[in-house]
């Protein structure tokens, strides 16, 4: 086995996805705790604790207890290098989550046992299915009185269109919750609630018929567990790793992340089951990780991760070959060579310089404006990876500088945050000084104002605009496109890549324009539009 193959098979790269408040960031903390990456878990939303979640590093994230930006963390566990992405759960930050999902090989879906499958979870599952991304499921908060576990399994299958394969099963629920039983290992694991450090009293019991079961959980729960195990074996087929890797079935784990119930079993099983780096589809061809030549793509850019240095980092997912520090690579979009002297590995906002990296790894490249989201680096081949689009905004505002003395800071911050994907910035045709802001959700407007103030010492103000729909436009005949743009100049915006965007007040008016201009194609994402820049 070559060194490249060995390194590929050591790695697993996955994202954690969920509806807001399902416990996603808490489980991220506990996975890092078990992985030895941190020694004590932060209380994500506790007002009593000064600790904030490791993966939530922005001031606004820490104040509100929500994830606004995808965080990347890495650690070693049982011989595997784990790359973990904690994605925003809030729908207002969908684009950041979707871009993060383009950079992983599997996903961990967290579901609140009290609320069940929620709307955001459905949307994220659709994105995973589009890419056939394998999903493991963790049903959280079993220490609360919630839905019956069997009912939850039915709900997952019905709402998410994926077959379930329970791997662990809860012993009790709410106040009676005692732990989880591993159906594959035939072992019971008990934990003390409320622990922040690694639990020390893990107890293994061989099989549900072991008399020790009654001693540990009591006769009533022991009897219920035996009945449940018998029923599960009759209803659900045996777990098949191939079905999971193909995205057809999801292994299901139960627990309470806040209380460390079931998290170790989850991590141990993911180490055994999660796929190592998979091929990625480029526009030109599919690229396998085992290919000898390096390739990778930028899926995220983040400015000011370290407030002391005001730096800008491009997140690169390595697709194939070996990445080496100080080596010259080909920047496909610009056609120029690129060398990085200080590539870094991540632990949220903490970074360390590395000399090499392998397929599946996510590294940070110091960026002085060289990169845009979707850019590709290779050893010479011109390829462009798919699946890193911008999405049509749903809220629009005119945006203006609120402090004339801070003009330079305002424009720098706005340009950098737009390139980062925090918001979308459009210019009016023939009026490039008038800028229009587009966002998916209201919260993004607050994030932009907060980050401009805290990171760039600038301020902005918004004014309403009579627009509610935006579509990117293109046409096979360039002359027809230019004639359409000229005829509809007041309805045309230009994005930061130079693409035309048609805006309308309503679906009705958009439909009329589409009917009158059959040669013009309208898109809700930028992925299908070739840049004119």
Q: How confident is the model at residue 69 (pLDDT cuts 50, 70, 90)?
A: low
Percent pLDDT > 70 in the chain is 84
Does the pLDDT at position 282 exceed 70?
yes
Q: How confident is the model at residue 403 (pLDDT cuts 50, 70, 90)?
A: very high
For residue 417, CA distances in Å to 47, 128, 450, 486 come to: 30, 26, 12, 30
Percent pLDDT > 90 in the chain is 46
**Per-residue pLDDT reduced to its tens digit, 14-25:** 998 888 788 888
Q: What is the pLDDT of residue 44?
A: 32
Q: Is 337 exposed, middle or buried (0-12, 13-18, 19+ CB in 10 A)?
A: exposed
Closest residue by Cα to residue 22 from 161, 162, 122, 158: 122
What are the residues whose beta carbons fall under 8 Å from the beta carbon of 498, sequence distance 6 or more?
531, 532, 533
Q: What is the pLDDT of residue 304?
A: 64
In the predicted model, what is the mean pLDDT of residues 337-345?
Answer: 87
Residue with tokens 């919630």: 146
Does the pLDDT at position 472 exceed 50?
yes
Here the tokens at position 136 are 């493991």
Which range is least confidently modeled, 27-36, 125-134, 135-144, 381-390? 381-390
Higher-confidence residue of 286 and 419: namely: 286
In the predicted model, what is the mean pLDDT of residues 470-478?
Answer: 92
The rounded distance, in Å, linking the Cα atoms of 95 and 356 is 29
For residue 149, CA distances in Å to 53, 97, 119, 156, 189 come to: 29, 28, 19, 11, 18
Does the pLDDT at position 93 exceed 80?
no
Does the pLDDT at position 192 exceed 60?
yes
Here the tokens at position 76 are 């070693």
Does the pLDDT at position 200 exceed 90?
no
Q: What is the C-alpha radius of gyration for the chain, rounded to an integer number of angstroms?
A: 25
What domains does the chain contain, in order, with CATH numbers?
A: 7-98+106-273 (3.40.50.300), 280-378 (3.40.50.300), 395-528 (3.30.70.3280)
The rounded distance, in Å, linking the Cα atoms of 377 and 113 is 42
The rounded distance, in Å, linking the Cα atoms of 164 and 184 is 14
Q: What is the pLDDT of residue 381?
A: 95
Here the tokens at position 329 are 């690579």
Helices (H), 375-477: 407-420, 442-456
Helix, strand, coil percent content, the chain, rounded in steps of 5: 30, 30, 40
Instruction: State which of 306-315, 436-445, 496-505, 519-528 shows the largest mean pLDDT.
Output: 496-505
Q: What is the pLDDT of residue 201?
A: 52
DSSP letter string, 33-76: HHTTS-SS---SS-TT-S---TT--SHHHHHHT---S-EEEEEE
The rounded distance, in Å, linking the Cα atoms of 231 and 423 is 50
Instruction: State which of 104-108, 300-304, 464-468 shows the largest mean pLDDT.
Output: 104-108
Here the tokens at position 231 are 């029923």
Q: What is the pLDDT of residue 41?
A: 37
For residue 171, CA distances in Å to 155, 203, 217, 221 come to: 20, 14, 8, 7
Q: What is the pLDDT of residue 263?
A: 85
SS3 439: strand
Here the tokens at position 82 are 């784990």
Asked if 88 contacts 18 with a C-beta cutoff of 8 angstroms, the reply is no
Q: What is the pLDDT of residue 217?
A: 86
Instruction: State which of 58-62, 128-132, 485-489 shows the largest mean pLDDT.
Output: 485-489
The rounded distance, in Å, linking the Cα atoms of 517 and 500 is 15
Phi, psi (degrees; rounded to nearest 5) at 149: -55, -40
Does the pLDDT at position 530 exceed 90?
no
pTM of the model: 0.76
Closest residue by Cα to residue 339 from 361, 311, 301, 370: 370
Higher-confidence residue of 493 and 422: namely: 493
Pairing of strands 295-303, 312-320: antiparallel
Mean pLDDT for all residues in the chain: 83
Pairing of strands 163-166, 249-254: parallel
The rounded distance, in Å, linking the Cα atoms of 78 and 221 is 33
- E strand segments, 424-477: 424-428, 431-439, 460-464, 469-474
Order of strands across the sheet with 187-190?
Answer: 168-171, 179-182, 187-190
The rounded distance, in Å, linking the Cα atoms of 526 and 507 is 19
In the predicted model, what is the mean pLDDT of residues 28-51?
Answer: 55
Higher-confidence residue of 435 and 430: namely: 435
Does the pLDDT at position 212 exceed 60?
yes
Higher-confidence residue of 388 and 118: namely: 118
Phi, psi (degrees; rounded to nearest 5) at 447: -60, -45
Does the pLDDT at position 169 exceed 80?
yes
Does the pLDDT at position 310 exceed 90?
no
Q: SS in 3 state form for 313-349?
A: EEEEEEEECCEECCCEEEECCCCEEEECCCCEEEECC
**Length of the chain in terms of residues written:** 533
Q: How confident is the model at residue 46 (pLDDT cuts 50, 70, 90)?
A: very low
């Amino acid at each position: 086995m070559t060194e490249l193959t060995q390194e590929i098979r050591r790695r697993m790269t996955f994202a954690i996805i969920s509806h807001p408040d399902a416990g996603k960031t808490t489980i991220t903390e506990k996975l890092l705790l078990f992985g030895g990456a941190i020694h004590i878990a932060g209380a994500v939303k506790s007002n009593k604790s000064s600790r904030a979640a490791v993966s939530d590093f922005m001031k606004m994230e820490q104040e509100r207890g929500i994830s606004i930006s995808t965080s990347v963390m890495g650690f070693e566990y049982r011989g595997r290098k784990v790359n973990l992405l904690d994605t925003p759960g809030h729908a207002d930050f969908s684009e950041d989550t979707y871009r993060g999902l383009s950079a992983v090989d599997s996903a961990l879906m967290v579901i609140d046992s009290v609320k069940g499958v929620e709307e955001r979870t459905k949307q994220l599952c659709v994105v995973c299915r589009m890419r056939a991304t394998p999903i493991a499921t963790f049903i959280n908060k079993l220490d609360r009185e919630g839905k019956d576990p069997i009912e939850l399994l039915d709900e997952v299958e019905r709402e998410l269109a994926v077959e379930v394969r329970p791997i662990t099963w809860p012993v009790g629920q709410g106040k009676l919750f005692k732990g989880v039983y591993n159906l594959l290992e035939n072992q019971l694991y008990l934990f003390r609630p409320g622990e922040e450090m690694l639990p020390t009293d893990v107890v293994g019991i061989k099989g549900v018929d072991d008399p020790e079961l009654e001693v540990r959980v009591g006769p009533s729960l022991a009897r219920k567990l035996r009945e449940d195990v018998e029923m599960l074996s009759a209803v659900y087929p045996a777990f098949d790793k191939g079905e999971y890797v193909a995205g057809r079935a999801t292994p299901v784990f139960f627990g309470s992340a806040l209380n460390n119930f079931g998290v170790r079993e989850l991590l141990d099983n993911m180490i055994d089951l999660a796929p190592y780096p998979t091929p990625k589809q480029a526009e030109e061809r599919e690229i396998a990780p085992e290919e000898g030549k390096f390739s990778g793509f930028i899926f995220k850019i983040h400015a000011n991760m370290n407030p002391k240095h005001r730096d800008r980092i491009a997140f690169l997912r390595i697709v194939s070959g070996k990445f080496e520090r100080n080596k010259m690579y080909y920047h496909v979009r610009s056609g120029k060579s690129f060398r990085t002297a200080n590539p870094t590995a991540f632990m949220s906002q903490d970074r360390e310089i590395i000399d090499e990296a392998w397929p599946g790894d996510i590294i940070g490249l110091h960026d002085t404006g060289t990169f845009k989201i979707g850019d590709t680096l290779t050893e010479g081949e011109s390829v462009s990876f798919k699946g890193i689009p911008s999405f049509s905004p749903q809220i629009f505002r005119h945006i203006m500088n609120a402090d004339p003395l801070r003009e330079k800071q305002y424009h720098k911050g706005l340009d950098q945050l737009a390139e980062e994907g925090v918001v979308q910035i459009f210019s009016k045709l023939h009026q490039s000084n008038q800028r229009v802001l587009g966002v998916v959700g209201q919260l993004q407007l607050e994030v932009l104002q907060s980050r401009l103030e805290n990171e760039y010492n600038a301020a902005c103000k918004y004014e309403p605009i009579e627009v509610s729909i935006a579509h990117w436009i293109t046409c096979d005949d360039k002359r027809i496109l230019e004639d359409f743009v000229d005829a509809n100049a007041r309805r045309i915006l230009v994005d930061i890549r130079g693409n035309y965007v048609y805006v309308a007040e309503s679906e009705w008016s958009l439909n009329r324009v589409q009917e009158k201009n059959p040669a013009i194609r309208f898109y809700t994402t930028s992925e299908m539009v070739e840049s004119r820049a």
